[in-house]
Each structure stands twice: as structure tokens, then as C-alpha cells.
Chain A
């Protein structure tokens, strides 16, 4: 790996994104619109008893982690598939660029994009809709950005198994949907059947959601939160290693 090549690769990926103004606008605006929708869905619901967080607070906090995860997975899968199908990947691999420069370049570039997205969504949730969390909003954005990096790593890996953009999009329900369903937002994890809990235990998004819930409930970062953050980071590294294995300098 070479810091200069990593930096120019990250810059190149961000520059590509910047040329696509409509994608940038959708990236930043859509989460705010969805939060608005959820806010009004629950606006007339009675407050839960005993000082528990309101339904909106409970859902919005977890959604802040979902947005970068879903969107960056899709964006990365398509971007990497394009590198493969247009021949730029093959060309890059004949240059001094190391595989890690490319993979980390994507991780950093789209991680930043995910952080920006999370920051805008968090600003809307906290200021417009009075989201309340015991812990700081900085931690929420940090966890959301980590989710983006995890999604990028998974997207880089999954793009190797798609030949077309249609196929790449189909990996979304396969990779992302089960994690959303089993992460504990819809049914608390300890109320699920044992086998569902076992699946939930090996899905990295479950840990990201638990970390967010820890920030929601505790003023100071907890040990559980840091452990969860470490698990998500570890999963991202593992996915990057698997993605590196799919990048072959030589092919048939």
C-alpha cells in the first residue's frame, strides 16, 4: 500500500461522485424525507409508559444507522461492478496501484460520503424532530459512518459475484434485508426464537444497532458499545480481505 496512491484513488472516487450531482442530492435529502415520514407516522401515538424513549426516537436512532448501510452498499456494488465491466479495474491492476489502495480508497471515499449523509440526517432528526439520546450525536454519526464502511466492504465483495447491474442490485435484498429484519428493531433480539437469535448474532448490523441503542440509553459510551463497534469494524476488515481475494491480476 502507498499513501500517495491511496490518497489520489480516494480523491478520484469522490470526484466521480461529485460529478453526479443528482446522486449527491438524493443521498443527502432522501433520509431527511424518510425521517419526516416516520415522524408523522408516530406523531399521534401515545407516549410509552415509564420514561421509555418515544417510538419515533427508538426508530429514528436506528434509521440513522440504516441509511448509510443500505445506500453505500448499493453505491459501492454498482461502482465496483463498473470498474470490472468497463476494464478500468484490469487496467488499474497493471499499474503500481496495490489492491489495498483501491479497496481502502473505496472504504474511505464512501465512508466519508456515508458520514456526510448521516450528519445531515442526524441534524434533521435532532433539530427538526427533537430526537433525544442520552449519549452524544457525535457517537451516533461515528457508528453510522462505520456502518457505511461495513457496507462498502460488503459491496466490494459482492460485486465480484454479479455480471450485470441488475444482478448487483439483487444482492441488496440478499445481504441487507435479513440484517435489517433481524437487527432487533422490529422484534427485540432476546424475544426472538433461538435459531433467529443465532442468525442475528452473526450479522454485523445487529451489533451496530445495539451500539446505537447504547448511545440512546447511556450518557457515557459503554463497554458494550465499544465492543459492538469493534465487532462491526472487524466484520468490515474481514469483508475487505474477502474482497481483496476476488481481485485477480491475472484472468483467463
Chain B
């Protein structure tokens, strides 16, 4: 089956700066793919390109076999923005029901999505009165409620307590087992081990695109955090060699 996401030499400029420098990768269907990298490395920008809200300067992004941002993808892709984007002056339930209705889903689907993110007890509460972590879960419920084929989640577990985080990750794997593809970003490496595939991005360049085991094997260490460090060093060393080969090394 075709891949869920295929990026080819994706280049993005934001505010006169190049933020993504020609990213190529493919994410197969039915997996939880982790997009990991430090803050400012371009995770959000890459996700925006995948959902089709980012102006791109070059390359292509193909999503579920269609160019990213195609009109028919809007009912097949769910997007959780990094900052919670829900209506503060509506209750959790009202928010979920609205986004459910936009996707042609009913009230029962909305109520289930709210319960799935652990907000069942706060369903009648105004989003503006929720804690930060609750608010981002309300936002997550609205991204899941349409039962999309591809779910793009920008740092969904930030600020959540460990028990909830574990629950959310097992929910993501349930969805993937049902054939849904998830692209989940995080800047904390301890979430990497929970993913089926890893995309490691640094300063707008992809430095790893593999399974966690393969990443460990390539770096020769069991700890993913340490593995990433080695990959980054190796990457920088080869970049320095390449610059040296160019002649002007100092």
C-alpha cells in the first residue's frame, strides 16, 4: 500500500530564513511515527506542511496519495496545533460536538472523544477555566473526533501527568493497530521509544529516519537519548568533512 506521508526535498522558508532544508522521508500507513527534535528545529513547520497550511518554497508533500492541502484531504486528516486551538468560551463538550459536526459525526462520537482523553468529568466545564494540560487534551479530543485516516499531533503530551501520558500513547497505538497513521512530535526523547518509527530533525535537517531499534543499532548504544547524541555528532563531523573537501576549511 502507498505510504501515508511522502516528502521529497521539502524546503520551507519562514520570515526570510530557511527553516527546512530539503527534507525527504516516507511514513508508512498504520504506524505511530515520532517527529523528534529540539525546540526550534522545524517540527511544527514540517507538520504544517503535511496538513497543507504552510507555504512551501520547494519540493513536494504527498499525503494519503494526494498533494498536501488538497480539499478532499480535509476530511481525512486531523491536526492538533501545538498551542491548544479550542474555543475558550465554550465547554469541552460543545467544542468537541462542533468539531465532530464539521466532520459529519454525531454527539455520541464527540462524547466518546472527550472521554478518551480523560476529560469525561470536565465535559461541561468552559475550556477557559481548564488547566493548561486539560486544555490541550480538549484540543486533542477535537483532533481525534473526526476519526481521520492520518492524525498529525504537535506535542500532544506536553504538560500531561505520566499516567495520562501512558494512556494517550496506548490510545495512539490502538488507533495505529486499526490502520490509522499518526505523526506525533515531541521534544522529549523519552517518548521516542514509544514510537514505531522515528524521524529525528535538527536545524531543519533530517538526521535519522528509522525504527527505534535500527536507530539504536546504527549508533551502537541501547539508550535512545545517547544514540541521538552520537548521530548528531556523526552528522556534524561528516558535514565538517564535506565543508573541508569543498576547499575553504579554516
Contact = CB atoms under 8 A, between A and B. Distances in A.
Interface of A: 4-5, 8-9, 12, 15-16, 19-20, 86-88, 90-97, 249-252
Interface residues of B, number: 32
B130 to A, nearest CB: 14
B246 interface: no
Interface in B181-210: none
B228 interface: no
Interface in B33-66: 51-55
B87 A91 contact: no
Nearest to B15: A252
B74 A87 contact: no
Contact of B52 (A8, A20, A91, A94): A94
A19 B53 contact: no
A95 B146 contact: yes
Contacts of B54: 250-252
Contacts of B169: none
Pick the 7 closest A-B CB pairs, nearest first: A87-B85, A8-B101, A91-B85, A95-B102, A12-B98, A16-B89, A96-B75
A76 to B, nearest CB: 15
A5 B54 CA distance: 25
B102 A96 contact: yes
Contacts of A86: 83, 85, 87-88
Interface of B: 13-15, 51-55, 69, 74-75, 77, 79, 81, 83-90, 94, 98-99, 101-104, 126, 142, 146
A96 B148 CA distance: 12
Contact of B103 (A12, A95, A249, A252): A95
13 contacts: A8-B101, A12-B90, A16-B87, A87-B81, A88-B87, A91-B79, A92-B102, A95-B99, A96-B102, A96-B103, A97-B102, A250-B69, A251-B54
A19 B126 contact: yes
A95 B94 contact: no
A19 B90 contact: yes
B69 A15 contact: no
B85 A95 contact: no
B146 A252 contact: no
Contacts of B53: 90, 93-94, 249-251
A83 to B, nearest CB: 9
Given A9-B102, A87-B85, 14 more contacts: A5-B101, A8-B98, A8-B102, A16-B87, A19-B89, A19-B90, A86-B88, A94-B52, A95-B75, A96-B74, A249-B52, A251-B54, A252-B13, A252-B55
Contact of B85 (A5, A19, A88, A252): A88
Nearest to A19: B89
Contacts of A4: 101, 104
A161 to B, nearest CB: 19
Contacts of B51: 94
Nearest to B86: A88
A133 B69 CA distance: 54
Nearest to B84: A87
B45 to A, nearest CB: 10
Contacts of B83: 86-87
Contacts of A95: 74-75, 99, 102-103, 146
A15 B90 contact: yes
A252 to B, nearest CB: 5
Contacts of B13: 252
A130 B87 CA distance: 43
Contacts of B104: 4, 96
Contacts of B87: 12, 16, 86, 88
A40 B83 CA distance: 51
A251 B55 contact: yes
Nearest to B81: A87
Contacts of A97: 102
Q: Which residue among A94, A97, A249, A250 has the maximum number of chain B CB atoms within 10 Å of its CB?
A: A94
B77 A16 contact: no
A115 to B, nearest CB: 22
A19 B90 CA distance: 7
A90 B98 contact: no
A19 B103 CA distance: 24
Contacts of A12: 87, 90, 94, 98
Contacts of A8: 98, 101-102
A252 B81 CA distance: 15
